[in-house]
Homo-oligomer: A and B are copies of this chain.
Amino acid sequence: MMYISINNKLFLQEDANISVADLSIQRGYGIFDFLKTINNKSIFIQDYFNRFYHSAKEMNLEVELNREQLHEAILKLIEKNNIPNSGIKIILTGGFSEDGYTMVKPNLIIIQTPLNIIETETKTGVALVSYNHQRQIPQVKTIDYLQAIRLQKFVKENGADDLLYHNNGKVRECPRANFFIVTNSEIITAKNEVLNGITRKKILSLEIPGYTFSERDFTVDEVYDAKEAFISSSTKNAFPVNKVDGKLIGDGKSIITRLINDNLLKLIELDQNN
C-alpha cells in the first residue's frame, strides 16, 4: 500500500483525491520539485528545497510548511511507504479557488514512487529530436508541460526518446533534463532561459582535466558537430545522448560523459553518507 501526503495528512493512494476546484485543474497553476532517495536517504535535499521555495515565491504561492516541517512530512512518507530507492515529488498548486481564477491557499501534495534505476542502465544513450520552443518562466519549476506531452506523438514518429527544445536555433534543454555538449576542450550548457537543474549545478562544480565548463548559448548545428552530448537530471544523472534529429553524435563512446557521471555518483555517495 502506497501513501500520498496532501496538506501534511497521509492518504492511501486510492483516496488521494482533490476537488476539481483546484487551480491546477482549472488553470494549470502550480509548481513542483522532484528529488530522489537512495536507501531511504534524500539526496541533496537542501538544494531541492532552495529551488522549491524559490519557485513558490516567484509564483506568489505560500508554502504553509517551513523547511523543517516539509522535511518531516517527507520523512513521515518515507517511513510509511518503505520504498528505499524512490522519487519524491512535491507539488504546490494554486488551491481551491471559488471563482476558478483567483489564487487562494495552496495545496501541498507529496507523492513517492519507486525509482527504476535498472531501466536507465540498460540503455546506452537516448535519441532526441529538436523542437523550437522556449519554456515560459524557465527558471521556475512550474507544472507546465503542455508542449512536452502534446508532442509525445511527434517524438515517437521521429524515432526519438525525448525532445530537445531550442529557441530559434539556440539550444535550451529537454522537457525534464538539462542538456550539455562536449567539444575538444569545452563542456557547454545553456546559461539562460533554462531550468536551474540541481544535477546541472553539481556537474558544473566538477573538475574535468583538459576541459573547461562554459555556460553560454550554442546552436543545434554545434550539437550535430559535438564530440559528445548528454542530458542531466535527478533520475538519469549524466546520461549519453547518442542521436539528435537522427544524426549520430560523436563516436558513441561517451568517455567524458561517463567520467562526469562517475564523479557525480561520488558526490551522491558522499551526500548519502552525510
Seen from chain A, the residues whose Cβ lies within 8 Å of a Cβ on chain B are 4, 6, 14, 16-30, 58-60, 89, 91, 93-94, 100-103, 109, 111, 113, 133, 136-137, 142-150, 152-153, 176
Contact = CB atoms under 8 A, between A and B. Distances in A.
Number of identical monomers bound together in the oligomeric complex: 2
B18 A25 contact: yes
A15 B25 CA distance: 15
A40 to B, nearest CB: 21
Chain A interface helix/strand/loop/mixed? mixed
B146 A91 contact: no
B20 A20 contact: no
A24 B27 CA distance: 9
Contact of A109 (B25, B28, B59): B25
B20 A4 contact: yes
Contact of A19 (B17, B133, B145, B153): B17
Contacts of A60: 150, 152-153
Given A20-B91, A25-B109, A30-B28, A146 B149 contact: no
Nearest to A94: B149
18 contacts: A14-B19, A18-B25, A22-B25, A24-B25, A24-B28, A25-B30, A27-B145, A27-B148, A27-B149, A28-B30, A28-B143, A28-B146, A29-B145, A58-B150, A60-B152, A102-B152, A137-B146, A137-B147
Scoring A27, A111, A137 by chain B CB atoms within 10 A of each residue's CB, the highest score goes to A27
Given A16-B21, A25-B25, 20 more contacts: A6-B20, A16-B19, A18-B18, A18-B20, A25-B30, A27-B146, A28-B144, A59-B150, A89-B100, A100-B111, A101-B145, A101-B148, A101-B176, A102-B152, A103-B152, A137-B146, A137-B147, A137-B150, A142-B146, A144-B146
Contacts of A93: 25
Contacts of A89: 100
B103 A149 contact: yes
B17 A143 contact: no
Contacts of A111: 20, 100
Nearest to A145: B27
A25 B143 contact: yes
Contacts of A143: 25-28
B136 A147 contact: yes
Given A4-B20, A20-B6, A28 B145 contact: yes
